[in-house]
Structure 1
Amino acid sequence: MSISSSHTGNALALSSPWAVVPSLGHLDAYISAVNRMPMLSLEEEQEAARKLKESNDLESARKLVLSHLRLVVSVSRQYLGYGLPHGDLIQEGNIGLMKAVKRFDPDQGVRLVSYALHWIKAEIHEYILKNWRMVKVATTKAQRKLFFNLRSMKQGFKANAQEGTHRDSLSSAEVDKVARQLNVKREEVLEMETRMAGGDVLLDPAPGEDGEQAFGPIAYLTDASHEPTAMIEARQRDLMASDGLTAALESLDPRSRRIVEERWLKVNDDGSGAMTLHDLAAEYGVSAERIRQIEVAAMKKMKKALVEFA
């Protein structure tokens, strides 16, 4: 069943009472169409259900679904207060109706309307919980019960309150009453009321009219020091600077190792090496150029050793 607001719809023409409802651009036209679908008598419903159950007769399934589309529309109206599109609620309810028709047993002694009611509500409930907020507001059975009853109970308390009294939160006595009626803990009532009172906040707001990025929570929630990639890279750097460097130095001969250590690992206060090329050249009785060549060769060997270590 498709209810699309992106297409313009013409006047609905049904070739027969059981014609499939086409895609419509106007929700009111869809609702008007399903309300004109004929209802099934008990005998007709039983016959269609048995045909579906015994021989998987799709025409019977279609009749059972179409004759109960008005029920979905009626149920969906009860959930308009959650700010979700009515057409979407109807479509989710239609999915629940089709699940009910598939599982309906005519020998159970109940009408399809009673059996389908549970499936329609369950599907709409699931849709609301997934889409009402970006973050799930209810996960446990108790939380789901609170979510779908707390709003209407609060409205009842407001209606019974004295004229001129304006408050959004529940009083202590009202919290206790809700907890008793729904058989949940008092703390769970308070927590759900807080969750439902809150709203979604964009972590990264869209740019303002002047083109500048608006300030949002992302600016102060980001913790670069604990970003997974940065943490892995930092760990690898620490490992290379300790075990990796030790392994690379051990791959050198004693003279090359001392030259590298004096030139790069021992640093003076001014940032220069502990010994210059000329100092090392005088100690080993060779030219400064030779010391530089040994240093370059040692660095290449260490680089290869570090790559193998990594």
Structure 2
Amino acid sequence: MSTPLASQGTALAVANPWAVVPSLGNLDAYISAVNRLPMLTLAQEQEFARKLRDENDLEAAGKLVLSHLRLVVSVSRKYLGYGLPHGDLIQEGNIGLMKAVKRFDPDQGVRLVSYALHWIKAEIHEYILKNWRMVKVATTKAQRKLFFNLRSMKQGFKDDEGVQTHRDSLTDSQIETMARELNVKREEVIEMEARMAGGDVLLDPSPSDEGDEAFGPIAYLADVGHEPTQMIESRQRDELATDGITAALATLDDRSRRIVEERWLKVNDDGSGGLTLHDLAAEYGVSAERIRQIESAAMKKMKKALAAYA
């Protein structure tokens, strides 16, 4: 059993500090518990921060983190509009808090709550950008700033009568105002709004209720030419068409090889083929049927050679 928390205003005197915080699986219980954790005084914060810095005291680090978990809950609530689980936002914010505690210098004259705020927001921002949409919506620093300010600025605009408006699309003057205040191009404001307003599209949709085959982007976005098995088959075909044919022709006698080349491999400048059966028959002084038989025997021999080559 863990030791109960000390009274308000005193240090977090527990044998296992983390035992007082429920799992994020029960979000209501977690929030209720962290809101009951006592805040540290300036003297206590300085004492624990120096112990962590100078002695690597992990218990002191735990007390610093525990006393600021309520800050993470408060900050995470501001990002619920992005449709991500509140528990996940808190968890990412807690990572930022722990990073802040690790880097906090008590001699800089700044309270941990002010220093940690940046780290908490940074981790939550990174999580949202990675998970809000499959395709990244913000890559540069300016785009990130636009992404996280567009919603709040849009809600803060008022109409001509001074009444707050929540219209779906921005007016030209509102776009200009956003671009000026956030130091981005008006085209970037328009593009970001379109990205945030656009719905997600399933790449591979399920069949409809009527049983018809569904058609989605996966049908035309897939690059079959770069699919591994297709690439292997294509390379094998290329090898057979060059090295394989050369090796197969080498197994034939001169007459058979010339007949095959004239009949199947030779292409004239006008697009026509080589010699006909009758042309070759006249050249070798045999019948056209005999040329056909030689050609057939040569093709069978080449087929065996190609099979062995493959």
Give the TM-score band, short-chain normalised: 0.7 to 0.9
CA contact (8 A) 2:77 2:86 kept: yes
Matched ranges for 1:111-260 at <5 A: 111-158=111-158, 167-222=167-222, 224=224, 230=230, 233-234=233-234, 237-238=237-238, 240-242=240-242, 244-246=244-246, 248-260=248-260
Quick check: 1:38 aligned with 2:38?
yes
The 1:160/1:86 distance shift into structure 2, 3 A limit, reads: farther
CA contact (8 A) 1:96 1:116 kept: yes
**Cross-structure match for 2:286:** 283
Task: Provide the secondary structure at the position in 1 that maps to 2:188.
Answer: helix
CA contact (8 A) 1:31 1:73 kept: yes
Task: Provide the secondary structure at the position in 1 that maps to 2:286.
Answer: helix
Q: Structure 2 counterpart of 1:87, which letter?
A: G
Which of residues 298, 302, 307 in structure 2 aligns to 1:299?
Answer: 302
State the 1:98 CA deviation.
0.4
**Cross-structure match for 2:74:** 74
The 1:165/1:88 distance shift into structure 2, 3 A limit, reads: closer
Q: Structure 1 counterpart of 2:4, which letter?
A: S
Task: Provide the secondary structure at the position in 1 that maps to 2:207.
Answer: coil
Moved more, 155-164 or 46-55: 155-164
The 1:156/1:212 distance shift into structure 2, 3 A limit, reads: same
Output one character per residue of 1:169-224: Cα deviation in whole Å (capped at 9) or x when no partner.
11111111111111122221112111111121001102333444322222344454
Q: Structure 2 counterpart of 1:295, which letter?
A: A
- 2:195 and 2:161 map into 1 onto residues whose CA distance is 23
- 1:83 and 1:169 map into 2 onto residues whose CA distance is 20
State the 1:298 CA deviation.
3.7
Moved more, 140-149 or 205-214: 205-214
- 1:165 and 1:115 map into 2 onto residues whose CA distance is 35
The 1:82/1:242 distance shift into structure 2, 3 A limit, reads: same
**Cross-structure match for 1:84:** 84
- 2:131 and 2:300 map into 1 onto residues whose CA distance is 64
Q: Structure 1 counterpart of 2:80, which letter?
A: L
- 1:70 and 1:243 map into 2 onto residues whose CA distance is 71
- 2:226 and 2:76 map into 1 onto residues whose CA distance is 45
- 2:164 and 2:122 map into 1 onto residues whose CA distance is 38
- 2:164 and 2:151 map into 1 onto residues whose CA distance is 20
Q: Which runs of 5+ in 1 are unaligned?
A: 1-12, 267-272
Aligned residues: 287
CA contact (8 A) 1:204 1:217 kept: yes
State the 1:263 CA deviation.
7.0
**Cross-structure match for 1:270:** none
**Cross-structure match for 1:51:** 51
CA contact (8 A) 1:205 1:216 kept: yes
Moved more, 158-167 or 122-131: 158-167
Instruction: Give the TM-score normalised by structure 1.
Output: 0.78
Q: Which runs of 5+ in 2 are unaligned?
A: 6-13, 267-274
Instruction: Give the TM-score normalised by structure 2.
Output: 0.78
Task: Provide the secondary structure at the position in 1 that maps to 2:256.
Answer: helix
- 1:293 and 1:219 map into 2 onto residues whose CA distance is 43
Q: Quote the sequence identity (%).
A: 72
Quick check: 1:16 aligned with 2:4?
yes
**Cross-structure match for 2:63:** 63
